[in-house]
Structures are given as C-alpha cells and as structure tokens.
C-alpha cells in the first residue's frame, strides 16, 4: 500500500471533521494517478449516501465517463460500511486499501425489517421481465 495515498486520505478526513462530518477520506487511483477524491458530506448535503467512498466513485465515473471502474483502486481511511461495500462491488473496483477497521461504537440503530411480497403470479411476471432484459444484453 502506498503511504502517500493514505496520507492524502487522512488530510481529506481532517477536512470532513472540521465540517462536523464523520472523518473519512477516500481516493480513487488509476494508473498511479489520483482520478477522484472525496470526504464525507452526509450532514452538509442531508444525504444518507454522501459517504466518501460513494462520492469518490461518482466523481471517478463522471471523469472516466463510465460506471465500470475495474481498473481502479480505492484508498479509504476506514473500512467501508456495507452500503459502500455493495456500491464498490457494483462499480467493479479491483482493490480497496483501507487504514483501519471499524471502531466499536456500541450504538444501537433501528433495524429495518425486510419482508418478501408473496404474490407468486407477480413474481413470475417480474422474473420474465428480468430474464428478457438480460437475454437481450448477452
């Protein structure tokens, strides 16, 4: 792991902290060049998804004019949360380098309940739509 990149992430995290944001900084690297950087802006933007990793991915995608970032590496100060992990996986980033694991906050959050809708005929109809869509793509 290249220290210069994680040091830049720490500087971004400090900027976030000064703005009363959770201090997390992220960089996306392609061919040893920084193509995007971001820090948390959830409070400022009033946006639950304004995590450093998500913002960096959006900027990289815009710059490269594509969503597939399979030739990029993400550097981040804190191990990504499950939402960010999923977005990272969907963007096809090839590697994530992080400085430290999550801290144990001992804070209890409301747990969302997921409930399947048991309508077999609607499920079958929707599966046909999905299947037809992906059949055309392959």
Structure tokens given for 84: 């960010």
Structure tokens given for 47: 């946006």
Asked if residue 106 lies in contact with residue 62, where contact means CB atoms within 8 angstroms, the answer is no
DSSP for residue 54: H
Q: How far apart are CA 95 and CA 5, in angstroms?
A: 14
DSSP for residue 71: T
Residue 21 designated active-site: no
Let me know how many helices (H) and strands (E) the chain has, helices first.
5, 4
Structure tokens given for 49: 């998804």
Catalytic-role residue among 53, 108, 121, 125: 53
Q: Which residues are marked as active site?
A: 53
């Amino acid at each position: 792991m290249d220290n210069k990149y994680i040091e830049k992430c720490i500087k971004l995290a400090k900027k976030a902290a000064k703005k009363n944001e959770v201090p997390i900084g992220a960089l996306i690297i392609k061919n040893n060049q920084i193509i995007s950087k971001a820090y948390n802006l959830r409070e400022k933007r009033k946006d639950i998804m304004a995590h450093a990793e998500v913002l960096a991915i959006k900027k990289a995608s815009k710059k490269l004019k594509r969503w597939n970032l399979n030739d990029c590496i993400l550097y981040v100060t804190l191990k990504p949360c499950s939402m960010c992990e999923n977005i990272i996986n969907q963007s096809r980033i090839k590697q994530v380098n992080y400085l430290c694991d999550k801290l144990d906050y001992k804070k209890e959050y409301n747990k969302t309940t997921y409930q399947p809708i048991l309508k077999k005929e609607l499920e079958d109809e929707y599966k046909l739509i999905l299947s037809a869509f992906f059949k055309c793509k392959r």
